[in-house]
Structure 1
Amino acid sequence: MITPGFLYFIGAILLLFPVYEKLKYMLSFLVTVAAIIITLHLIPGYSVQLDFLTFTLVPFKVDNINKLTGLIFAVGGLAAVIYSISMCSLSHLRLIFVFIGSALTAVFSGDLFTLYVAWELMTISSSFLIIMTSDVTKKTGYYYFLMHVAGGLSLLWGIFLQYSATGNFSLNNIEVGIPFFMIAIAIKLAFVGFHTWLPLAYSKAPFYVAVILSIYTTKVGVYVMSRLLSGINSLAYAGLISALFGIAMSLKQKRVLKLLCYSIIIQVGFMIIGISIGTTEGITGAIFHLVNHILYKTVLFMVVGVVIYTTGKDSFENLGIMGRKLPITSIATFVAFMGIAGVPFFNGYMSKSIIKEAIQDPILTLGLNVMSFGTCIIFLKFIYYAFFKNSDRKVDKKPPVSMQLGIGFLTVLMLLVGIHPFFLENLTNMHVDLHYFDKKHLLSGIQPFLWSIPIFILFKKYIVKNYERFLYFDIYLNMAKLFMTTGYHLSNYHDGKLNKYLLWATSTLIILLLLFMF
């Protein structure tokens, strides 16, 4: 058995040869389908051990959690490649293959060394995906790259500390260097305070690239958190705060893609809370929610991609074309909305119910209900513009069949999981003792949605309002500007005169001496 990620790497290599350019559709289909088949047939408990220099590595390891995560990654890869293949260039397709292959390799890695290599490959490939698009996205790509490099360096330092203390690279709960692992995962998760790269990159990259990024980047962070930082209860409250921040930011957005970006932060908050509880039920609920989130959030990004493709913009007013001109897209939007709202008999309800059942803290329970309510309000705004607000926007061109196939495929899976929630449990033997459709859970699932409808109607003029003045503060950009300005002024003192260089050297030695003394 091999890790499914290798198939994507092989596909990327084959696409380098001119002979395969004409076969990109067939090759892409074979690679993505083969990855799903291989993942389905992986046996939990199987692992590969490798001696490298003086280290014993486990580059490939299978258990129930990473099998389910790898399976949804492979399914997402199939849908995303089908959706984007008619629009993306061959160079972009190669990078997409490397990116997906890296994500799958990270999921099935059994040691910190392999995880780090895959983590950095994800950063490099996704950065080039953004940078190579156009001159407009170059600065965005550099910003994205620097943020994730900072996360990668933090992860590397944490690995050094862990190895120094334990003498092994095993992928389990961390004993030392926890703050560095937290920073690395927080950046990948787009946790509040480390989130600035997400709305910037996803809103400026081509919509089909945003679809790919939305499937893997933050979800790899969630998976790695479940492996390394589970059971740290204080992080549950941090996840709640991050989600509430996402709600506040989502409500003020004028562009649909940015609303979807901030809603990712909300949904990741559910996963953080489940993992932080540390129980089997909590972690299982978080991983199931990762699966469901990939399904409905990918569909929503794809739907907005169709709007951008047909109208050229992603403003809320342009969503009005769906109800009149795009019936398949409209059905998928409704199913995805009900799923993300956690309405019973739709896929998000299943994982949210598990997380709620696992929580014993009344503050966190209240927080989850507020998060569900806020999510409903946000996407009622989406639905209002799509189906109820009159729009004179015209469809300039029809979306290709491949886009509709990608959307339709994931929509069917959402319906399957929603109607038969035991499907995911039976697929990986991750069973939860929960009666999904008893009265208690049905009421808990439907209440935030029912409350959100009258609240939305009452406060519609504030919720759908266009906020012209929007406060946005990016501490990292301001720090970079301060650094550049300071460097510029200091460089003026480097004029080649010996006495000034001696002054610099003497001042530095005095500062170092004082630091050592105190």
Structure 2
Amino acid sequence: MITPGILYITGALLLFLAVHEKIKYVISLLITVGALIITFNLVLGYSVQLEFLHYTLTPFRVDNISKITGLIFTVGGLASVMYCIHVCSISNLRLIFLFIGSALTVVFSGDFFTLYVFWELMTISSAFIIMMASDTTKKIGYYYFLMHVAGSLCLLWGIFLQYSATGTLTLNTIEAGMPFFMIAVGVKLAFMGFHTWLPPAYSKAPFYVSVVLSIFTTKVGVYVMSLLVPGIHWLAYAGLISALFGIVMALRQNQVLKFLSYSIIIQVGFMIIGISIGTEAGISGAIFHVVNHILYKTVLFMAVGVVIYTTGEDTFENLGVMGRKLPVTSIATMVAFLGIAGVPFFNGYVSKTIIKDSLHEPLLTWGFNVMSFGTSLIFLKFIYYAFFKKNQFNVEKKTAISMQFGLGVLTVLMLLVGISPSLLENLATVNLDIKYFDTKHMLSGIYPFLWSILVFIFLKKYLVKNYERILHYDLYRKLATVFVTTGYQLSTYHDGKLNTYLLWATTTLIILLSLLMF
């Protein structure tokens, strides 16, 4: 058996042979379908070990969590590649394959060395996808790269501390270097304060790139978090605060892709709460929410991509083209909306029910309900513009069949999971013994949605308005400006004289000695 990630990386190399459009389609179809079949047939408990530089590495390890995560990644890979293949250049498609392959290899890695190498390869490939899009996205891609490299350096330092404390590179719950691991994971999953790379990258990159990035980047962070730091209680409150921040920011957006980007932060908050519980049910609920989030959020990104492709604009007003002229996209969007809102018999309800059922603190339960209410409320704005606001837009391009295929596959899977929650339990080989469709759970799931409808009706004029002042603050850019300005001012004192340089060297030495003394 081989890790499906290697198959995608091989596909990236094979695409150099794609001198004709038909070859590109054949290679893409074979790789994506092949990776899905391989992942589905992986045997739990299987692992590969090898000796490298006197270290024992486990580059490939299969357990129930990695298998279900790998399955949704390969499903997402198949759907996203088919969605974007019609509009994606061959060079970008190679990078997309490399990015997906790296993410899958991280999921099945069993040691810190393999994790770090392919964690970095994810950063490099995704940054180049953004940078290569246009001149406008070069600076955004560079900023994205710097943020993720900072996270990667923290991950590397954490691995050093972990190895020093344990003497092994085996990928297990960490015992040392927790602050560094937390920063690394926080950057990857766009936790509040580390999220500044996400909205500009996902909104300025081509829509098909946003689709691919939305599937893998933050979800890899959540998966690694579930391995390294499960059961840390205070993280539940951190996840709650981050989600509430995402709700406020999403409500203030006029651009749909930025709106969807901030909503990712909300959904990651649900996953963090599940992981912080630390029980089998809590972690399973978090991973199941990763699965469901990939399904409905990818469909929403795809639907917005179709609107951008057919109208050329990314505004809420342009969503009105859905209900009138894009029937397949409209159906998929409604199913995704009901899923993300946690309505019973739709997929988001399943994972939210598991996480909520695992909570035993009234404050967290209350906060969870507020998160669910906020999620439904902000997406009612999306649905209002898509189906109820009167406007006239012309469809300038016909939606490609491959794009509709990607939407269709994920929509069917959403419906299957919502109707039969046991599918996820069977794939993850867990038995959570939850009666998903009893009166208690169904009322608990539907109440936040019903309250959101009521609030939306009364506050519609505030919720659907176009805000002139968009909330956005980037501390890192401010610090960079201060750093560059200070450096420039200090550089003016370097006049080339020996006495000046000796003064600089002596002052620096005194400062360093003072820091060491304290």
Q: Please give the TM-score of this superposition, normalised by the length of structure 2.
A: 0.99
Q: 136-145 vs 18-27, which deviates more?
A: 18-27
Unaligned residue ranges in structure 1 (runs of 5+): none
Report the AA paired with residue 267 of structure 2. Q
On the 8 A contact 1:319/1:385 being kept in 2, the answer is: yes
Tell me if the contact between 2:15 and 2:90 (Cα under 8 Å) persists in the aligned partners: yes
Distance 1:261 1:18, change over 3 A: closer
How far apart are 1:19 and its partner, in Å?
A: 4.8
Residues in 2 aligned to 1:39 and 1:177: alpha-carbon distance in whole angstroms: 32
Deviation at 1:166, TM superposition (A): 0.3
Counterpart for residue 381 of structure 1: 381
Aligned pairs for 1:389-408 within 5 A: 389-408=389-408
SS in 1 for 2:16: coil
What percentage of aligned pairs have identical amino acids? 73
Instruction: Note the residue ranges of structure 2 that are not aligned, 5 or more in a row.
Output: none
Alignment partner, residue 220 of structure 1: 220
- Residues 1:262 and 2:244 aligned together: no
State the distance in 2 between where 1:24 and 1:456 align: 46
Shift of 1:288: 0.4
Deviations 1:7-63 (A, max 9, x none): 001111111235576501000000000000000000110000010011100000000
Aligned to 1:458: 458
Name 2:331's counterpart in structure 1. 331
Structure 1 residue 491: Cα displacement: 1.4
1:64 to 2:64 alignment? yes
1:264-283 alignment, distance < 5 Å: 264-283=264-283
The answer to whether the 8 Å contact 2:249/2:471 transfers is: no
What residue is the counterpart of 1:245 in the other structure?
Answer: 245
Q: Indicate whether 1:77 and 2:87 are aligned.
A: no
Q: SS at 1:467's partner residue?
A: coil
Report how far residue 90 of structure 1 moved.
Answer: 0.6
CA distance in 2, matches of 1:511, 1:351: 53
Paired residue secondary structure (1:248): helix
Q: Offset at 1:189?
A: 0.8
Tell me which residue corresponds to 2:291.
291
1:99 is matched with which residue? Answer: 99
1:414 aligns with 414
Could you tell me how far apart the structure 2 residues matched to 1:268 and 1:516 are?
A: 40
SS of 1:70 mapped into structure 2: helix
**Which stretch of the first structure deviates more once superposed, 385-394 or 64-73?**
385-394
**Mapped contact 1:356–1:368 kept (Cα < 8 A):** yes
- Match of 2:448? 448
Given that 1:21 and 1:90 are in contact with CA atoms closer than 8 Å, whether structure 2 keeps it comes out as: no
Partners of 2:421 and 2:515 lie apart in 1 by 60
TM-score (norm 1): 0.99
Q: Is 2:170 aligned against 1:147?
A: no
**1:473-492 → structure 2 map (5 Å cutoff):** 473-492=473-492
- Please list the CA deviations of residues 381-409 of structure 1 after superposition, one character each: whole Å capped at 9, or x if unmatched: 00000000001222111111111111011
Shift of 1:427: 2.1
Give 3-state SS (helix, strand or coil) of 1:49's partner. strand
Distance (whole Å) between structure 1 residues aligned to residue 291 and residue 509 of structure 2:
55
Matches within 5 A, 1:351-362: 351-362=351-362
Q: Deviations over 1:436-462 (max 9, x none)?
A: 100100101111111111110000001
Alpha-carbon distance in structure 2 between the residues aligned to 1:346 and 1:162: 41
Cα offset, 1:305, TM superposition? 0.1
Q: How does 1:312-327 map to 2 (within 5 A)?
A: 312-327=312-327
Q: Distance in 1 between matches of 2:37 and 2:67?
A: 12
Q: Which residue identity is paired with 1:100?
A: I
C-alpha distance in 1 between matches for 2:126 and 2:460: 38
The residue that corresponds to 2:125 in the other structure is: 125
Q: Which amino acid aligns with 2:179?
A: P
Q: CA RMSD in A?
A: 0.9
Q: How many residues align?
A: 518
* Contact map agreement 1:3 1:108 (CA 8 A) in 2: yes
